[in-house]
Structure 1
Amino acid sequence: MISKLDLYKVFCEVAKCESFSKGAKALHMTQPAVSQAIMQLEGELEVRLFTRTSKGVILTNEGKLLFEYANSAMNLINAGEEKLLESKNIMLGDLKIGVEDAIFRYFLLPYLDKFHNECPNIKLRIVNRTILELCAMLKSGTIDIAICNFPIEDSSLEIKRCMDVQDIFVCGDKYKNILSTPLSFEELSKLPLILLDAKSNSRQYVEKYILSKDIEITSEIELGSHDLLLEFAKINLGIACVIKEFSQEYLKNGGLYQVKTVEEIPKRSIGLCFSKNISLSPASKRFVEILDN
Structure 2
Amino acid sequence: MVVKLELYRVFCEVAKQKSLSKAASSLYMTQPAVSQSIAQLERELGLRLFTRTSKGVILTNEGKLLFEYANSAINLINKGEEKLEEWKNLTAGELKIGVGDTISRYFLLPYLEKFHKLYSNIKLKIMNKTTLELCALVKSGEIDIAICNLPIEEPALEIIKIMDIHDIFVCGNVYKEKLSAALSLKELSNLPLILLEPKSNSRRYVEKFFLSKGISIKPEIELGSHDLLLEFARINLGVSCVIREFSQEYLKKKELFEIKLNENIPERSIGICFLKSVSLSPTSERFVQILGKS
Work out whether the TM-score is over 0.5. yes
2:169 aligned partner: 169
| Contact 1:169 1:259 (C-alpha < 8 Å) held by counterparts | yes
- Equivalence map 1:27-46=2 (5 Å): none
2:245 aligned partner: 245
Distance 1:159 1:84, change over 3 A: farther
2:270 aligned partner: 270
- Residues of 1 paired with 2:84 and 2:232: CA distance? 47
1:211 aligned partner: 211
| Contact 1:141 1:278 (C-alpha < 8 Å) held by counterparts | no
- Residues of 2 paired with 1:153 and 1:174: CA distance? 40
| Contact 1:207 1:216 (C-alpha < 8 Å) held by counterparts | yes
- Residues of 2 paired with 1:172 and 1:86: CA distance? 53
2:292 aligned partner: 292
1:101 aligned partner: 101
| Contact 1:97 1:125 (C-alpha < 8 Å) held by counterparts | yes
**Partner AA of 1:202 in structure 2:** S
2:281 aligned partner: 281
The runs of 5 or more residues in structure 2 that have no matched partner are 1-82
Q: Secondary structure at the match of 2:116?
A: helix
- Residues of 1 paired with 2:88 and 2:212: CA distance? 51
- Residues of 2 paired with 1:235 and 1:263: CA distance? 26
- Residues of 2 paired with 1:284 and 1:104: CA distance? 17
* Deviation, structure 1 residue 90: 1.5
- Residues of 1 paired with 2:111 and 2:88: CA distance? 24
1:122 aligned partner: 122
- Residues of 2 paired with 1:91 and 1:210: CA distance? 49
Identical aligned residues as a percent: 66
- Residues of 1 paired with 2:165 and 2:184: CA distance? 21
1:16-49 deviation per Cα after TM superposition (whole angstroms, max 9, x unaligned):
xxxxxxxxxxxxxxxxxxxxxxxxxxxxxxxxxx
- Give the total of aligned pairs: 211
**Partner AA of 1:165 in structure 2:** I
- Residues of 2 paired with 1:124 and 1:276: CA distance? 22
- Residues of 2 paired with 1:244 and 1:176: CA distance? 17
* Deviation, structure 1 residue 263: 0.3
1:258-292 deviation per Cα after TM superposition (whole angstroms, max 9, x unaligned):
11111000000011110112221111010001011
* Deviation, structure 1 residue 179: 2.7
Distance 1:189 1:86, change over 3 A: farther
| Contact 1:149 1:271 (C-alpha < 8 Å) held by counterparts | yes
Alpha-carbon RMSD across the aligned residues, in angstroms, is 1.4
1:136 aligned partner: 136
1:102-135 deviation per Cα after TM superposition (whole angstroms, max 9, x unaligned):
1011111111111011100111111010111101
| Contact 1:86 1:282 (C-alpha < 8 Å) held by counterparts | no
- Residues of 2 paired with 1:199 and 1:254: CA distance? 30
The runs of 5 or more residues in structure 1 that have no matched partner are 1-82
- Residues of 2 paired with 1:206 and 1:193: CA distance? 12
Q: Secondary structure at the match of 2:121?
A: coil
Q: Secondary structure at the match of 2:286?
A: helix
Q: TM-score, normalised by structure 2?
A: 0.70
- Residues of 2 paired with 1:291 and 1:233: CA distance? 31
**Partner AA of 1:240 in structure 2:** S
- Residues of 1 paired with 2:265 and 2:238: CA distance? 19
2:149 aligned partner: 149
Distance 1:105 1:277, change over 3 A: same
- Residues of 1 paired with 2:85 and 2:195: CA distance? 44
- Residues of 2 paired with 1:85 and 1:220: CA distance? 56
Deviating 4+ runs (over 3 angstroms): 83-89
Greater Cα radius of gyration, structure 1 or 2: 2
* Deviation, structure 1 residue 137: 0.4
**Partner AA of 2:141 in structure 1:** G
**Partner AA of 2:98 in structure 1:** G
1:67 aligned partner: none
- Residues of 2 paired with 1:277 and 1:85: CA distance? 23
Q: Secondary structure at the match of 1:169?
A: strand
Say whether residues 1:224 and 2:228 are aligned partners.
Answer: no
| Contact 1:156 1:276 (C-alpha < 8 Å) held by counterparts | yes
| Contact 1:178 1:259 (C-alpha < 8 Å) held by counterparts | no
**Partner AA of 1:256 in structure 2:** L
* Deviation, structure 1 residue 100: 1.2
* Deviation, structure 1 residue 84: 6.2
**Partner AA of 2:143 in structure 1:** I
Distance 1:86 1:200, change over 3 A: farther
**Partner AA of 1:289 in structure 2:** Q
- Residues of 2 paired with 1:165 and 1:86: CA distance? 37
**Partner AA of 2:160 in structure 1:** K
| Contact 1:193 1:238 (C-alpha < 8 Å) held by counterparts | yes
Q: TM-score, normalised by structure 1?
A: 0.70
